[in-house]
Amino acid sequence: MAVDSNDIGHLIPLEVVLRNGTGELLLNVANVLLDPTIQTSAQTAVHVARDVTRKNLADKDTIINIISPSQEQLLISGGSGGSAMTLATIAAIQGKTPRKDILITGTINDDHTIGQIGSPRAKALAAKDAGAVMFLVPVGQAVDVGNIGIEVREVGTIEDAMAYVLP
């Protein structure tokens, strides 16, 4: 989830692919401008995913594809996609498909906690427009979303989020 300069939320497709390799983390980006915090967020996401799954990825490269369908380039800053990258990486490691009707926003921390983000309401509205039935936000931020016509749940850790997103 991202928010543009007009405070309008956008769904940015995210995919994680694991392939034989040497433990590299690669970001593949199209139609999106990323600030340097995204690299740090991706590194933390992979670290937490390895920790949760207890898998060593030294013989795998992790490729995170971030491709905006928009004709206009979006600038994504901050780490609010960290929890989504973590869930997508866990799913790739476990060979699972995450639910597409439940979306999440939130930073990811080394201790598996999901941190606060900006513009939760705009992101939630974009999730609803994308067909989500549930939107997961960091603890304490559901009040910032309000009633938008889909279920909004607070999650404190990536393990909490896994219970919703990974069947």
pLDDT at 149 > cutoff 80: yes
pLDDT at 13 > cutoff 70: yes
The half-sphere exposure of 28 on its side-chain side, counting CA atoms within 13 A, is: 13
pLDDT tens-digit readout, 39-64? 899 999 999 999 999 999 999 999 99
Least confident of 9-23, 27-41, 124-138: 27-41
Domains and CATH numbers, the chain: 2-165 (3.30.230.10)
pLDDT (0 to 100) of residue 75: 67
Residues β-bridged to residue 137: 154
pLDDT at 129 > cutoff 70: yes
Residue 155: what residue type?
A: V
Give the separation between CA 150 and CA 23, rounded to whole angstroms: 39
Give the separation between CA 47 and CA 75, rounded to whole angstroms: 25
Structure tokens at 20: 């034989």
* Residue 150 near residue 127 (C-beta atoms within 8 A): yes
* Residue 82 near residue 44 (C-beta atoms within 8 A): yes
Least confident of 2-6, 38-42, 125-129: 2-6
- Dihedral sign of CA atoms 72, 75, 80, 81 in order: positive
pLDDT tens-digit readout, 54-93? 999 999 999 999 887 665 666 676 789 999 999 999 999 9
